[in-house]
Amino acid sequence: MKATEVDKFAVNPGEITFSLPIRVYYQDTDAGGVVYHSTYLDFMERARYEWLRQLGFDIHSLIQLHKVIFMVRSLNIEYLKPALLDDLLHVTAEAVEIGSCRIAISQQVRRGSATLVNATVQAVCVGADSLKPVRVPAPLRHKFGKRS
Q: Which of 7, 28, 30, 86 is labelled catalytic?
A: 30
3-state helix/strand/coil string of the chain = CCCCHHHHCEECCCCCCEEEEEECCHHHECCCCEECCCHHHHHHHHHHHHHHHHCCCCHHHHHHCCCEEEEEEEEEEEECCCCECCCEEEEEEEEEEECCCEEEEEEEEEECCEEEEEEEEEEEEEECCCCCECCCCHHHHHHCCCCC
Whether residue 58 lies in the annotated active site: no
CA pair distance 27, 36, nearest whole angstrom: 9
Active-site positions read: 30
